[in-house]
Structure 1
Amino acid sequence: MITIKKQAGVGLIEVLVALLILAVGVLGFVALQYRAIEASSEGANRVQAINLARDLAEKIRVNRDQLGVYATAIAGNATNITNPNCYTAFCTPTQMARFDAALTNLSAQRVGMTVNMFACPEVSNGRRCIYVAWGDTAATNADGLNNCTTAGAYRDESTCVVMEAY
C-alpha cells in the first residue's frame, strides 16, 4: 500500500530564504537611514557656512573702505580678538576690520570650517568672493583634489560654499 505523507512543518530552506529576504530589507532600510543622516548633516553644514559668509559680507558692507584689510586678515587666519576688543573699546575702521575678521575666523574654527576671501574668478570688475569650507576641503580656488573650486567651478565632492560679495 502506498501512503502519501503530508508536510508537517515548514522546511528549513523556506525559513532561510525568508531570513535572507528580511536581511536584505533591513540592510536597505539601514542604508536609507544613513543617507538621510548624511544629507541632514550636509544641509546643516551648508546653513552654517552660509551664515558665516553672510555675517562677514554684512560686516564688510558696513566698513567697505577696509576691504583690503578684511581680505588680508581673513587669509591670514587671524584669531586675536583681544587687542583691542572693539566690543568694549573705540576702534578705528582698520582695527574694526581686523577684529571682525578675527571673530569670523574664530567662529569658523569653532565649527570646523575655514574662511577665505579672493578676487572672484572670471570676473573683471574686482569683485571678491567669500569661501567657506569644511571637512577635507580647503577654502581656495586652485588646482588640487581638496580645493573648493578650480577656475571658478565647484570641484566634485567638495564641501564648501562660495558667496560673491564685493
Structure 2
Amino acid sequence: MTSYYDQRGVGLIEVMVAILLLSIAVLGFSALQMRAINATDESLVRTKSLTLVRNLSEIMRAYPNAYVTGSATSFTTASPTATGAVSTVQAVMSSSATSTVTVDAKTIDITTSANGCLSTGTKQETVDSIVKTVPAQHCNMSQLAARDTLMAKKIAKDEDISMTVVTCPGTTTQAIQTQMCVIAAWNDTKAILSDSDANACATSNGVYKTDSHCLISEAY
C-alpha cells in the first residue's frame, strides 16, 4: 500500500510532459509552415516580376530608336545623340505618368481606346504631298513605345511591383541600344541602385543588398 501512495500524481506528470513535447513539436511545425508560405509567396512574386522584366525588355528591343527629352508626363521625340535624350521606355518608366502621357503634343491614354494608339479603321492623310491610307490613330515610334511602357507600368503597379530602367553600372553610353538594367522590386525594397539607401535593391555597382526583394536583368 505504501508503494501505491508513492505513485500518486505520476500519471499526471507524464501527461503534462507529453503535452509539453507535443506543443514544442506543433510550434516548430507551425513555424515551418509559415516559412513555407513565405517562400511560396516570394517565388510567386519573383515569377511575376521576371515576366514583367522580360516584357519590358522586349518593348525596349522593339523600339531601339525611340528617344525623347522632357520629364513628368510630357515628352518630345529626339535623336539618340541629342542633349538630355533618353530611351522612351526609360523616360516613361521613371516619370510620374501612370496611365496618361503626352508625346509630341499627342496624349496617350491607356484607359481609353480613343487615345490608345490602337486603330480599328483607317483614314486618308497627306504624307510628302502624297495621299496615303494610314491607321485612324496614327502614332509615331516614341508614342507607341510610350503606350506599351505605360501598359507594362500599370500591370506592375497592379501587382504591387515597382520597376525602373537605369544604365547598367560600368556601361559606356552609346548612341542607341545602350546596355540597360531593368529593375523590379517588391515589399519594402526600392527599385534603385544606391549605396546610401538601405532599402535599395543593390549598390551603385549592381551588387544585391542583403535581404533585398528584387531582381535585375540586363537589356539591350
Same fold per superposition (TM over 0.5):
yes
The residue number in structure 2 matching 1:85 is 116
Task: Give 1 or 2: higher strand fraction.
Answer: 2
Q: Offset at 1:82?
A: 1.5
**In angstroms, what is the RMSD of aligned CA positions?**
2.0
Q: Offset at 1:123?
A: 3.1
Q: Which runs of 4+ in 1 moved over 6 A?
A: none
Q: Secondary structure at the residue paired with 1:17? A: helix
1:128 aligns with 2:155: no
- TM-score norm. by structure 1 comes to 0.90
Report percent identity of matched pairs: 36
Gaps of 5+ in 2: 68-86, 101-107, 120-136
Task: Give 1 or 2: higher helix fraction.
Answer: 1
**C-alpha distance in 2, partners of 1:129/1:3?**
82
The residue number in structure 1 matching 2:60 is 60
* Letter matched to residue 164 of structure 1: E
The residue number in structure 2 matching 1:118 is 166
The one of 58, 72, 82 aligned to 2:91: 72
Gaps of 5+ in 1: none
The residue number in structure 2 matching 1:43 is 43
* 1:58-80 Cα deviation digits (max 9, x unpaired): 11111111151111111114221
> How many pairs are equivalent?
165
* Letter matched to residue 58 of structure 2: E
The one of 138, 142, 147 aligned to 2:190: 138
Q: Secondary structure at the residue paired with 1:5? A: helix
**C-alpha distance in 2, partners of 1:130/1:78?**
18
